[in-house]
A and B are shown apart, each in its own frame.
Chain A
Amino acid sequence: MKALAEKLFIFFIAIAFVIGCTSELDFDQAEDLSLEPVIESSFIFYQLSAEEINTEATSQSMVAPFMIRDTVALDLFNESFLNDNLIRIDITRDTENSTDEDVEVVFNYVDDSFEPTVAPFSFDAPANTDRPGIVTSYQGEDLELLKRSTQIVAELVVSPTQSAFSDSGLIEIRSKATLYLRID
């Protein structure tokens, strides 16, 4: 009888080992996981002094208003991770113009054959003025168009306010991109 009691005792302990309770869990929730990181990245920048611009303008015998230009190949959206998960991009630009010339800052987003993908971005930076925080936001269809860009053509149109060029001052352009990602 004692042996039987012992065996029963063991049996119940064994059961306790095997059977445990558990709260209601829903593992399908993992399907809902979506990360939405916000990435801040420095973007295009340049600094030009009035002196540099004038030297170039003089050597090229350019007549005001004149334009200088730089083309940069930046195939950023070729990366499939960015291409698949980017839902919005904000490009923020600051300009500081301490020269005596009015300038127009232009960024053209173009594809391989120099066809514009989205409307060019341009703004005026009048002489001796700072213009911080000019934001362009791309999402939805605009973003899809922007993603086709493989090159950026930056232009600076200089319109001297006086008949003679002044050599003082600096034009500084800073920009950053804020990338909103959604990773499902």
Chain B
Amino acid sequence: MRLFLLLVFIIVTSSYSQNKQLLYDFKELPQSLMLNPGADVSNYKFHFGVPLLSHIHINAGVSGLSAYDLFADDGRSFNEKVREVLFDLSRNDVYTANQQLEVFSGGFRPKNFQDKRYFSFGMYQEIDIHVYHPKDPAELAYEGNGGANINRVYDFGDLDLSGEMLTVFHFGFNKQLNDKLTYGFRGKVYSSIFDMRSTNNDALFYTQPGERNFYRHILIADVTVNSSGYADLRDIESEDTEDGSRQVLSKFRNRALLGGNLGLGFDVGLTYQHSEQLSFTGSIQDVGFIRHNKDVENYTVNDAESLEGVELLFPGIDGAEEDDDFWQDLLADLDERFSPDTTSTAYTSWRPMKLNGSMRYDFGKKKDKDCNCSAEKGDYLNAIGVQLFAIKRPRLPQFALTGFYYRRLSDFLRLKGTYTIDKFTAYNVGLGMSMHFGTFNVYLMGDNLLAYRDLSKARALSLQLGFNFVFPTTDNPFTE
């Protein structure tokens, strides 16, 4: 039980969704190409990221709950707090975790950097965990089916979780078609390291007044858990030696490098420059799937039973025969029927598809001190706009709406502030900055800054940072 709680909390405290509102449409950063392959990178000659350090992304959060709610040192009974939290959360509250690490990345403009096309490529590792609050099973475990809960239908379909670790190899194509339109496409090969999901469960348990006895208990279960990359590890881990952990790492390395279950996917996106100041962007990421056929272990229960209790027939009466073990056998049979069957049938998992859109208005040209006139085309110091993000999740897509202000303080420093409303919080203020030392670039972004006043009350936090080298087409980087 404690272990379960700890596990929930590790997920809760190290987790969140995948919105990167600070990075999106941040044209100076090559990682904006990962969110929109059709991003405007017209002044990139070539770029490469510092290996393992070009993009580190961690998101942490949970909807409807913070560590403070449970662990505040306020003298209240812990069980009381658990009860409050359990009963406050809805079945659509989520615990989600997302982490990404770019292993390597780069990009270039072919034909001696003169082409209208820009190619980019790389490899990154990702962990994505998404768990809906198992409301009914948790409440059943907490208070049982007795008392006021007779007749309550417990929906075990509330069990809905997915977790995966994978690496992604990608190659992107970006083309500036004309002054107005830039579009792009990115092909992806997914290399799954570990996958576990149980998202289409249909199961009910309820207790109603019986006809011949106090109660009738009804259990209907159609539950499936799919996993890949797990069975193999379990065999190793049981040894629990240094050699064992070396074997795990070796397996991970092999699977990360296309040695495990593979999948395919793509991103598409575009930027439309409506006027000199007004632009629109849109992109779809991770339209793709992974086919799991190696090291698959699935667990299924599919059965139904309705029972009023143990009926005695009294041997001899009405022809009943002596069978003392009848009920013992029946219970054993029930146990067997509702225990998971293990299969190794291949399955397909879909990546969580993401949608981005933005509208951006640039304004405030840089004044040229020498001639007291405005600078050339496109040389705007400010931008405001709105962005929309959506991610497909098993039950409903999750949305986030962001308003942003972008400011170029100098050639050296650019800032972006965001205000985001989403499932996790309605007061999400984020700040991102990008620093440019010649061609060397460092960026650091964090959201939910207001939560830093008291981290224990935070429901979601995210952090992204990275180091790149970006070589622009003009001498003056990114002033266009």
**CB <8 Å contact, B312 and A45:** yes
Contact A23 B454 (CB under 8 A): yes
Residue in chain B with minimal CB distance to A24:
B73
Q: Contact flags (1/0) for A135-149 with B, using CB distance below 8 Å?
A: 000000000000000
In whole angstroms, what is the CA distance A27 to B68 when docked? 10
The binding surface of chain B is classed by DSSP as mixed
Interface members, chain A 1-29 (any B CB < 8 Å): 3, 6, 10, 13-14, 16-17, 19-27, 29
Chain A CB within 8 A of B421 CB: no
A73 close to B2 (CB less than 8 A): no
Given contacts A39-B144, A42-B214, contact A22 B444 (CB under 8 A): no
Of A3, A21, A34, A181, which contacts B454 at CB under 8 A?
A21
The reply to whether A39 and B146 form a contact with Cβ atoms under 8 Å apart is: yes
Contact of A75 among B78, B144, B147, B328 (CB under 8 A): B328
- Which of A20, A26, A72, A151 is close to B452, meaning CB atoms less than 8 Å apart? A20
A33 touches B5 (CB 8 A): yes
Interface size counted on chain B using CB atoms at 8 A: 69
Map CB proximity to B onto A39-56 as digits: 1 under 8 Å, 0 otherwise: 111111111100011011
Report whether A37 and B2 are in contact in the complex, using a CB–CB cutoff of 8 Å: no
Contacts of B231 in A (CB 8 A): none
Contact: B310 with A72, CB < 8 Å? yes
List, in ascending order, chain B residues with CB within 8 A of A72's CB: 310, 312, 324, 326-328
Decide if A74 touches B71 in the complex (CB within 8 Å): no
Number of interface residues of A (CB under 8 A): 64
| A10 close to B212 (CB less than 8 A) | no
| Contacts A68-B317, A154-B312 known; 17 new A-B pairs at CB < 8 A | A13-B433, A20-B455, A22-B456, A23-B454, A26-B71, A29-B71, A32-B79, A38-B146, A40-B150, A40-B207, A43-B310, A44-B309, A44-B310, A44-B312, A73-B324, A183-B1, A184-B1
- Can you give 18 A-B contacts (C-beta < 8 A)? A10-B435, A24-B72, A24-B73, A26-B73, A29-B78, A33-B1, A39-B145, A42-B310, A43-B310, A44-B310, A44-B312, A46-B313, A48-B317, A70-B313, A73-B327, A172-B212, A174-B214, A184-B1
**Chain B residues engaging chain A, CB cutoff 8 angstroms:** 1-2, 5-6, 9, 67-68, 70-73, 77-79, 81-82, 140-147, 150, 207, 210, 212-217, 307-318, 324-328, 331, 409-410, 412-413, 431, 433, 435, 444, 446, 449, 451-457, 463
